[in-house]
Homo-oligomer: A and B are copies of this chain.
Amino acid sequence: MSRASHRPRLVDVAEHAAVSLATASRALAGREGVSTEVADRIRQVARELGYVANPYARTLASGATSTVGLIVHQVDDPYFSEIAAGVIQLASEQGLLVQICQSGRDPDYELQQLRHLIAQRVGIVLISGSGYDDPRMESAARAELAAFQDHGGRAAAIGRHALGVDAVLPDNEAGGHALAQHLMDLGHRRIAVAAGSAGLTTVADRLAGVSSALRERGRSPADLAVVNSDFTRGGGRAAAEQILNDHPETTAIIALNDAMAMGVLSTLRSRRVPVPARMSVVGFDDVSVAADLAPSLTTIRLPMTEMGRTALTLALKPRTTRPRRRPTGHLLVVRDSTGPAPRT
């Protein structure tokens, strides 16, 4: 590939402004040690020439990268794409570029992507998606991130804890609690849960909230039918099938994310189970399509886009000694997919 030069370089700016390279660099970086008039002149010249610093040279010389790496499970999952949208928005405002990696929900591959990003010398790593119960997996990632931070990197997690880095965390437990409570308020007694893969901390947390709500009302958590599948629409369909077959007495299904809820709705529709007349369904996340489904989905709203922005904000701020936790609000959004328990 031929050299893509012909673009003005810093020397060109310096020459046109009749100053040295160092002064030009300082002026454009806004560092002190340059008189206001000279700095103005340099900036003016740079603008006229259409000068844009070569980020590769800059990074090589300074060691400070201006690109942020974002790891998601899958970009075409609305939960993650909304997070990505938030990250990209803020990054673009800050003049940063975002590099996206997909882990495909595979902890090994995710670790590999993380290593790759770090090897690529990104300055900031943002890692989203659920953590894994497997302690070996998590500690490998944790170690990688710790080393990265020791070398000056910044990192933050989104919706994920125990990584030893700053995190923006929804209260998954409270969310699960609110959903269960909502259903019990409607009179539901036989509740089933369509859960994502066992082994995901997000699953465990949301489920814990559901269980505790049941316990508070004197129900035995054993009454709760929990079906594990995965956090996709297909997973939701599969879980719904299993629930309908194995737990026919169920009158309400808690899907632990919206993608699964959509799958659940899809199965109920094809099985001609009226929602919410015969079965109530709730989701979790409130991805933007949730409001446009038929029936529209009762769910827990998480501010995904904002979470993305917040995570980047956290990573940009100077590090504190202890990892910070930034909670996110959550809100029970009641729509048409839930209704009173059917009389038996």
Interface residues of A (CB under 8 A from B): 1-7, 52, 54-57, 59-60, 63-65, 67, 74-76, 78, 81-82, 84-85, 88-89, 92, 97-102, 113, 119-121, 123, 148, 151-153, 233, 262-263, 265-266, 269, 288-289, 291-295, 305
| Residue contacts A-B, CB under 8 angstroms, 24 given | A1-B152, A4-B63, A4-B121, A4-B151, A7-B119, A7-B151, A55-B120, A56-B65, A57-B60, A60-B60, A75-B81, A76-B82, A76-B84, A76-B85, A76-B305, A85-B102, A92-B102, A92-B113, A97-B120, A98-B99, A233-B288, A266-B292, A294-B294, A294-B295
Please indicate the chain B residues that have their CB under 8 angstroms from the CB of A75 in the complex. 75, 81, 84-85, 88
Are B99 and A99 in touch, CB under 8 angstroms? Answer: yes
| Assembly CA distance A6 to B74 (angstroms) | 32
Are B88 and A151 in touch, CB under 8 angstroms? Answer: no
| Nearest CB of B to A149, in Å | 10
> What are the 5 tightest A-B residue pairs by CB atom distance, in nearest-first order?
A52-B119, A3-B63, A4-B151, A294-B294, A2-B152
| Assembly CA distance A121 to B148 (angstroms) | 25
Contact of A97 among B54, B92, B99, B288 (CB under 8 A): B99
| Assembly CA distance A64 to B5 (angstroms) | 11
Give 7 A-B pairs besides A7-B151, A266-B291 with Cβ atoms closer than 8 angstroms: A1-B63, A55-B120, A75-B84, A88-B100, A233-B292, A262-B289, A265-B294
Please indicate the chain B residues that have their CB under 8 angstroms from the CB of A76 in the complex. 78, 81-82, 84-85, 288, 305
Q: How many copies of the shown chain assemble into the complex?
A: 2
Query: Which interface residue of A119, A262, A295 has the most chain B CB atoms within 10 A?
Result: A119
| Assembly CA distance A265 to B4 (angstroms) | 49
Can you name the residue of chain B whose Cβ is closest to the Cβ of A262?
A: B292
Contact of A5 among B63, B81, B92 (CB under 8 A): B63
Can you name the residue of chain B whose Cβ is closest to the Cβ of A318?
A: B1
| Assembly CA distance A270 to B75 (angstroms) | 31
| Assembly CA distance A92 to B262 (angstroms) | 29
Please indicate the chain B residues that have their CB under 8 angstroms from the CB of A4 in the complex. 63, 65, 121, 148, 151-153
| Assembly CA distance A342 to B288 (angstroms) | 32
Contact of A151 among B2, B64, B98, B101 (CB under 8 A): B2
Can you name the residue of chain B whose Cβ is closest to the Cβ of A269?
A: B294
Please indicate the chain B residues that have their CB under 8 angstroms from the CB of A59 in the complex. 56
Please indicate the chain B residues that have their CB under 8 angstroms from the CB of A78 in the complex. 76, 78, 81
| Nearest CB of B to A290, in Å | 11
Can you name the residue of chain B whose Cβ is closest to the Cβ of A77?
A: B81
Please indicate the chain B residues that have their CB under 8 angstroms from the CB of A5 in the complex. 63, 151
| Assembly CA distance A63 to B5 (angstroms) | 8
